[in-house]
Amino acid sequence: MAEIKRNNSWYKNLRSKYRLVIFNDQTFEERVSFRLTRLNVFAFLLSLSLIFSSITFLLIARTELKTYIPGYPDIDDKKQLYSLNILADSLLQDIKLKNRYIEGFKHIFDEDLPLEDYNKREVLTNRYDTITNRKSSMDSTLRAEFENQTLHNLYFTETGQLTGSTESSIKSFNFFTPIPGIITSRFSLIDNHFGIDIVTARNEAVKATLDGTVIFSGWTLETGYVIGIQHKNNFVSIYKHNSVLLKKDGDNVIAGDPIAIAGESGELTTGPHLHFELWENGTPVNPEEYILFN
């Protein structure tokens, strides 16, 4: 019973009402008066402290005032620390590479090569026998279109247009026999043999079949010394397996002029002979249809 009375008295003390009066110090006139309880005063002070705490937290968290707090980390310091970490990692990597470079030199000077490194390397071998040449129909069509273009013809008409050629105009040319001899291999598109092989005596002079300009004079692995001449009406003649070339790129020749010496240069040859090709508008034609070989 006594404990219940003590609890009630404590609660009543909190709810006990008091008056706060403000007087004029000279006239003792009452200016302001408040009716308060201990509970109201406690609640007011608690609310006031919460408000000030919230305002202080917002000011520190949302403004630059937080940088003035001792021990608070600066964001610029974090960025600088991150950059220094990256720089340190780069320097360590560079030091490792330089150490490996120096160690390699030491092994070379000591004549002690690191064989374990060489054993780990893959040995690359050229397997040319496994390479296959696959031509699609689209690739063949593109090649034919490109070869039939006449953009690089050296001869033009008076109006600036490329000269055309017809079968009658080609047959009207006076072809000069490039070399005397016996034909041993004839023209065959099926066998990809785009010319004829003429067996002749060694060191026989090869002559230009028509007037024209030398567009190629050089050496290839398979056909040896080769010379090509551009003629009128988009016509090209090719001479392969020569031993010596007498003309160079850009030289003008006349039909019958010596342009090379017959031989057997290149891998695709079995003796002294001339491989002669005739091309019209990027397409190979049979030389025997236009030139008399006897």
253 band by pLDDT with thresholds 50, 70 and 90: very high
| Contact of 150 with 234, CB cutoff 8 Å | yes
Domain 154-289, architecture per CATH: Distorted Sandwich (2.70)
pLDDT digits (tens, 9 = 90+) for 134-158: 666 777 777 776 666 555 555 544 4
Q: Pick the residue with more confidence: 258 or 26?
A: 258
Q: What is the pTM of this model?
A: 0.45
| pLDDT tens column, 2-47 | 555 555 676 677 777 777 778 877 777 877 877 777 778 888 888 9
- CA dist 290 → 50, 64, 150 (Å): 113, 97, 22
From 63-72, 121-130, 210-219, 278-287, the region with the lowest mean pLDDT: 121-130
User: Which DSSP state fits 191?
Assistant: T
Residue 168 binned pLDDT confidence (cut-offs 50, 70, 90): very low
pLDDT score of 113: 53
d(CA 114, CA 121): 12
Q: Yes or no: say if 41 and 35 are a contact pair by the CB < 8 Å rule.
A: no
CB-CB neighbours of 162 under 10 Å = 17
CA distance 210 to 236: 9
**pLDDT for the residue 200:** 87
Rounded average pLDDT over 96-122: 66
With H, G, I as helix, E, B as strand and everything else as coil, classify residue 104.
helix
With 60 as the cut, is the pLDDT of residue 289 above it?
yes
Q: Which pLDDT band holds residue 73 (cuts at 50, 70, 90)?
A: low
pLDDT of residue 165: 47
- Return the higher-pLDDT residue of 11 and 54: 54
| Span 166-192, average pLDDT | 79
Distance from C-alpha of 82 to C-alpha of 61, rounded to nearest angstrom: 23
Average confidence (pLDDT) over 276-294? 87
pLDDT higher than 70, residue 222: yes
* 119 — pLDDT class (breaks 50, 70, 90): very low
